[in-house]
Amino acid sequence: MRKYLLKRVFYMVLTLFLVATITFFLMKLMPGTPYSNQEKMTPQQIQIMNEQYGLNKPIWLQYLIYLGGMLHGDLGTSFQYSNQPVSYLISSRIGASAQLGLQAMIFGVVIGIIIGSFAAINRNTWIDTLCTILSIIGKSVPNFVLAVLLQFYIALKLGWFPIADWGGFSYTVLPTIALGVGPLAETARFIRTGMVDVLNSDYIELARAKGLTKFGIVYHHALRNSLIPLVTLIGPYTVALMTGSMVIENIFSIPGIGEQFVKSITTNDYPTIMGVTMLFSAGLVVVILLTDIVYGIIDPRIRLSGNGD
């Protein structure tokens, strides 16, 4: 197991290095400068600014300097937010995004499992059809449409929750629902399909013959086996949600990281682009590793390494 983990960690570091390298050079191919008032600056002024920021150095040298800084934990200073260290911009904003993403994921997966199981147990009845219709709607209605509707009817008209902003738990309810409906629908669909297969298998027949309760069969035997395809999905999904959903964050005015990333690209804010890309990539490689470990826990048949260490 240790040998396996070491090997995996080595590949993770290699992946991150490749991501950093490719992103850096691709980013430098984008036209323009990181200066927001570029339009009004003369070429000489831009030249002087480039010298100040070291942007006139050869790209390979800039790359080495950046890499050196990153190894020392220095992600550089943002251009959009002058003097603001990128590490501060990320750390002050990632909290809200992570909380929202995690809540949405938990909400979506838990409710999705319940709905999916319910549909599978009652397959081919009106309950199943209803659950299927609900999950199709959940999957096909874009989350920003749902967000706007929730905001208008639940927050403005009924006044049950705040319209926007970020404060206590009540502020998180509507964005969580809006963001969680996608994973909810996806989970419900996966669980239903998986469970219908499992419920038809011989060992479930056996469990029934043994006289186990319906709940016991579903919970202990059917659910566990239908979770495997879902785990593959949940990992990357969680990272995507936690690192920010720009649209939902904008609609509910949440101080998250989603828009910062998009804005950093359109404004050529090089250090921020790199910082957020590295954060996202690191999150992803860690989650992929965790997913593989979780596989083994859910299903011992999936071995992490050949020797079963």
Exactly one of 23, 38, 122, 291 binds another protein (CB under 8 A); which one? 38
| SS3 assignment, position 85 | strand
Looking at the Cβ atoms of 48 and 290, the one nearer to another protein is 48
Please state the closest distance from residue 302 (CB atom) to another protein, in A.
42
150 near another protein (CB under 8 A): no
Q: Of 10-18, 56-64, 182-190, 254-262, which part binds another protein (CB under 8 A)?
A: 254-262
Residue positions counted in the chain: 309
* C-alpha–C-alpha distance, residues 233 and 117, integer Å: 17
The helix (H) or strand (E) run that includes residue 72 is none
Q: Of 80-88, 197-205, 232-240, 297-305, which part binds another protein (CB under 8 A)?
A: 80-88
Q: How many residues bind another protein (CB under 8 A)?
A: 49
Looking at the Cβ atoms of 252 and 280, the one nearer to another protein is 252
Exactly one of 12, 63, 81, 296 binds another protein (CB under 8 A); which one? 81
Looking at the Cβ atoms of 4 and 81, the one nearer to another protein is 81
* C-alpha–C-alpha distance, residues 175 and 252, integer Å: 7
* C-alpha–C-alpha distance, residues 177 and 194, integer Å: 25
* C-alpha–C-alpha distance, residues 206 and 63, integer Å: 62
Exactly one of 20, 75, 93, 143 binds another protein (CB under 8 A); which one? 93
Site string for another protein, 232-251 (x = CB under 8 A): ------------------xx
Q: Nearest-CA neighbor of 221 among 238, 205, 237?
A: 205
* C-alpha–C-alpha distance, residues 309 and 303, integer Å: 9
DSSP letter for 38, please: G
Please state the closest distance from residue 279 (CB atom) to another protein, in A.
15
Please state the closest distance from residue 146 (CB atom) to another protein, in A.
13
Exactly one of 172, 238, 243, 267 binds another protein (CB under 8 A); which one? 267
The four Cα atoms 283, 85, 67, 20 give a dihedral, to 10 degrees, of 40
Please state the closest distance from residue 261 (CB atom) to another protein, in A.
13
Please state the closest distance from residue 87 (CB atom) to another protein, in A.
12
Rounded to a whole number, what is the distance in angstroms from the first to the last CA of the chain? 5
Q: Of 5-13, 149-157, 206-214, 292-300, which part binds another protein (CB under 8 A)?
A: 149-157
Looking at the Cβ atoms of 82 and 124, the one nearer to another protein is 82
Cβ-proximal residues to 46 (8 Å cutoff; 6+ apart), any chain? 33, 35, 38
Looking at the Cβ atoms of 89 and 188, the one nearer to another protein is 89
37 near another protein (CB under 8 A): yes
Which of left, alpha, beta for 83 (phi over 0: left; psi -120 to 50: alpha)?
A: left
Please state the closest distance from residue 161 (CB atom) to another protein, in A.
12
Within a 10 A sphere around the Cβ of 217, how many other Cβ atoms?
Answer: 19
